[in-house]
């Protein structure tokens, strides 16, 4: 049976993989073996990315893969993801029978096996869970991650300037972001990604730091092929507002983006806006305005930070009860473990656990917390984006991904997504974010499918090259002309 080329394995989406599997051109057994070889080549050796924290034991994977191949041969296909490997973030619980602990990237939990799997693991459509991926940060408590199995990976701070957030290593993945820890790196890898609305998805068996911010999130290399009802490939009927990229861009203390690149990204986005506006039966409002990030501040402090600092202790300790690790029942227990094992939990550049200490010993007052919860939701949603949707009768809000709009979305509790826009002249992927009201994710998927249908196929970043021979100057093209 044929296997995938290295480039196909890197770039194919779940729809294309399912087509190969259905046609008998590929088996789940062979697909899993190739994925494992990629991990060995680039994650454990070679570049030593250390992005994979644990992998289901080989024999377990082979048994499961063979079972799914046999089911396919008997015309029993569980769904559109049947037999396709899926990664999950190491904050999603897995029981001992799967052979991978739920560590949250900490040695304190290297033997943590909750009694049951997270519901997202139990769902039938997750037909082949095979590995866990390192967290971008220790559940938003910014510390260095020295993982029990993968070695050091600096949380949310990769060394390469072209990436943003956690590693992107799979054709299909399920994550748990608070703000933009998947849509941002998805943008840098020219991927499609979707973060559902707050409270729209079951969180049982998922470690989190905040009841007000964390949700599961789904990332794929292309549109969600199994949600066919929404994939019309047309902008028809949509009413879309666009934020001004001159206003919404990274501040200099967040990203020192060269001015020529800023201009290039703005011109690309404006060309996209113009093309969408020329389509039949679509309404475009440009520019529109929403509150700025600073408007979320309470008593001079970011309201989202106040909320996370207040909720983190209880959220952690709720999960510790599920983890059932001897000696770790409270946040103070974890802090002491880290102090007692500083040589393996920290590195010399980041030898502290400041946010954990603040969450445990110096959290915001209840009064300030309640004020921050009300203020952030009122400014971002009731008097901000929600008001804009109503007054302008908009379905979607779109914006450059090189901005902190995802913070506003997190405060409002709205779903967000990202679509690729091509490459800058030096090969860096660009992306456009979209946002909708809760329950309107279908319109977001419609927009994503239309973008895929009306614009050139996504291009790989230079940083996605598999070896130096594939990273020649010829691969560093400017974004394709938008007509």
Cα(399)–Cα(13) distance, integer angstroms: 25
| Helical ranges in 145-258 per DSSP H | 183-188
pTM > 0.75: yes
Cα(212)–Cα(209) distance, integer angstroms: 9
Place of tokens 């730091």: 209
pLDDT tens string for the chain (483 positions)? 678 998 898 888 888 999 999 999 999 999 999 999 999 998 888 888 888 888 999 999 999 999 999 999 999 998 888 999 988 888 888 888 888 898 888 889 988 888 888 877 776 545 677 777 765 444 444 343 344 444 444 443 333 333 344 444 455 554 444 456 678 888 888 888 888 876 656 667 777 776 654 444 444 443 344 456 788 999 999 999 999 999 999 888 888 889 999 999 999 999 999 999 999 999 999 999 999 999 999 999 999 999 999 999 999 898 888 888 889 999 999 999 999 998 888 877 667 788 889 999 999 999 999 999 999 999 999 999 999 999 999 999 999 999 999 999 999 999 999 999 999 998 999 999 999 999 899 999 999 999 999 999 887 665 544 443 443 333 333 333 443
Place of tokens 């991990």: 39
E-assigned strands of 374-425?
396-400, 416-423
Contact (CB, 8 A) for 168 and 186: yes
Q: What is the CATH number of domain 6-220?
A: 3.90.1300.10
Two tokens, residue 267: 């011109």
| Helical ranges in 279-404 per DSSP H | 303-323, 331-340, 342-345, 354-361, 366-377, 386-391
């Amino acid at each position: 049976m044929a296997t995938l080329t290295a480039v196909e394995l890197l770039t194919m989406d779940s729809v294309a993989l399912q087509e190969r599997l259905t046609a008998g051109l590929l088996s789940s057994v062979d697909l899993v073996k190739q994925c494992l070889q990629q991990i060995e080549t680039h994650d454990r050796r070679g570049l030593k990315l250390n992005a994979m924290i644990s992998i289901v034991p080989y024999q377990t994977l082979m048994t499961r893969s063979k079972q799914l191949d046999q089911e396919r041969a008997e015309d029993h296909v569980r769904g559109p993801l049947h037999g396709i490997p899926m990664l999950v973030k190491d904050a999603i619980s897995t029981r001992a029978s799967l052979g991978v602990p739920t560590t949250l990237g900490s040695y304190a939990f290297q033997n943590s096996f909750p009694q049951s799997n997270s519901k997202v693991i139990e769902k039938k459509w997750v037909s082949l869970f095979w590995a866990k991926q390192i967290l971008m940060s220790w559940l938003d408590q910014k510390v260095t991650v020295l993982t029990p199995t993968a070695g050091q990976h600096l949380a949310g701070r990769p060394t390469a300037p072209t990436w943003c957030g956690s590693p992107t290593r799979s054709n299909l993945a399920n994550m748990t972001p608070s703000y933009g820890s998947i849509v941002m790196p998805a943008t840098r890898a020219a991927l499609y990604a979707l973060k559902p609305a707050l409270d729209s998805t079951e969180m049982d068996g998922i470690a989190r730091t905040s009841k007000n911010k964390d949700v599961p999130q789904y990332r794929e290399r292309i549109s969600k092929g199994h949600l066919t009802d929404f994939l019309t490939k047309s902008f028809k009927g949509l009413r879309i507002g666009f934020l001004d990229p001159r206003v919404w861009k990274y501040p200099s203390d967040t990203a020192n983006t060269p001015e020529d690149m800023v201009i290039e990204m703005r011109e690309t986005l404006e060309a996209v806006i113009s093309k969408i506006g020329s389509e039949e039966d679509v309404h475009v409002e440009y520019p529109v305005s929403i509150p700025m990030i600073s408007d979320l501040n309470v008593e001079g402090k970011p309201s989202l930070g106040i909320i996370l600092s207040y909720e983190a202790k209880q959220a952690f300790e709720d999960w510790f009860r599920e983890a059932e690790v001897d000696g770790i029942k409270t946040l103070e227990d974890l802090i002491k473990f880290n102090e007692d094992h500083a040589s393996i939990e920290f590195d010399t550049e980041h030898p502290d656990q400041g946010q954990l200490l603040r969450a445990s010993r110096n959290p915001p007052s209840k009064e300030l917390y309640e004020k921050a919860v009300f203020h952030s939701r009122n400014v971002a949603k009731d008097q901000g984006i929600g008001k804009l949707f109503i007054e302008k009768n908009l379905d979607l809000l779109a914006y450059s991904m090189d901005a902190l709009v995802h913070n506003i979305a997190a405060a409002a509790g709205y779903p967000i997504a990202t679509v690729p826009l091509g490459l800058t002249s030096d090969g860096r992927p660009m992306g456009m974010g979209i946002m909708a009201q809760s329950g309107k994710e279908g319109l977001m998927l419609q927009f994503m499918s239309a973008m895929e249908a009306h614009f050139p196929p996504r291009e790989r970043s230079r940083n996605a090259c598999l070896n130096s021979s594939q990273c020649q100057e010829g691969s560093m093209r400017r974004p394709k002309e938008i007509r």
